[in-house]
Structure 1
């Protein structure tokens, strides 16, 4: 009604003008009307948003309740209890929507809310777990994260100065390596990365298939033979026996474990959209430095549970 009244007023005003032709009058009024019609709803929505933000600021308990409900829908609803074990696992790889809700950015190459987040390092994944735990008022699993230096020949930690000296040696065999040290409380109720054992047990799904959920990789996973050279939305293929998706293919998944031969390397499992089939087998694994990122590497998360 307000727009119609405004249109009539503009029409009456222009009627008194002798400088405009009938055609230009109509085009002028039509343009003004369309502009107002588009602008007013947006202004109304902006006022509503600001009013709601002000109200929530004055009622922090309601803001907390709404945030808890949102995170429950985005994460808790996707947790699957692993039979016979004391942990729950996300049924999908962490998606870009989930990542962006927590971290407020999106590092992925292949963009899409339902695509798995990638281009995230092991350190990034750990930071995500702690941030999500904090937002849900859960006890954080990870603490004391820092870069450290290890002398393989002396079999002990050394200083950063020793590391820099070793790197400068002309014929250095890199006796001193840099690695990311961090503590994990596996009894905390917050989110964390699965161990390799946890990941592989869950990937089997109580079944004895080569891949997670089937002996036919095309049924359960996106890999080099069917992906078209890109990541795909999660949960499009058949799940395994525990209801977990994409544990073979789509993106490699970071796990907690470090290499026994090189503590700077962290494990990842499952294969990816560009992997050959053998890399997507449940028992296969690979290793990258904790700060490496790739467009074929993401993760899924777990939470410890008191139930077995």
Structure 2
């Protein structure tokens, strides 16, 4: 395993996402995957207070509760950095249609939801707390102040934001500086090797773009994390259809370049994608989603893959040629 800094904390170069744990992935398998991740040097896990509310019989507590049970049973609270998110949980008072009814990022919601997450996780402090989905109806100043208060109270060691544009992130950092409170040290966006189509619509999700990556590259105190790096298995599983947002005139050229490098290195396309992400500038920290041991081991093996400069340039060229 390789490691990097998240603010002032050292964490593993891969973060294990636990969205399906305790629901889609049963408890025994979830525990086994978490155990293997830690055995192989993983120290960073990611959840949210809304996974997986959309499944029948679920309310969104499930992933945090599963992770809390695992942390307690393994005594792993100090060794493993835990990230969770708030703001995207459905609020019945706002109607039945999600994402319109998400609870948002008002000060009262932030204060309550953070404490609820601590209870489900069984911890006194979360290592990284995200604003999960942007809330344009709430001024960034209010949200920043609420998250800053959680850091001051010791409820969150660090705070971050997910699915927020670069422009909103810049405003949030400025607001934190003006208020003298802790600002966001992490941003988590959708991102992978394939470029989105020019007209791609990810709805409430925000894809990491050149503006955000350039901004992060000039802020060593800001870590970029990315979800969906392996496009739900479509790089290597012929049975998985590539999301429509990544289908465009340049897709095949990019896939061909990826496969060429994979053949040269003896690695899988998934592993090349992860190596490309972690070895780029700025280096990003992938959040990997797995449901089987083989998927986890494949991702963890990618940590040791080093692409040559020529291979990286070839991959980059395939992405930047006009679509």
Coarse TM-score class (shorter-chain normalised): under 0.3
Higher-RCO chain (CA-CA 8 Å, sequence separation at least 6) = 1
TM-score, reference length from structure 1: 0.25
TM-score, reference length from structure 2: 0.24
Name the larger-Rg structure: 1
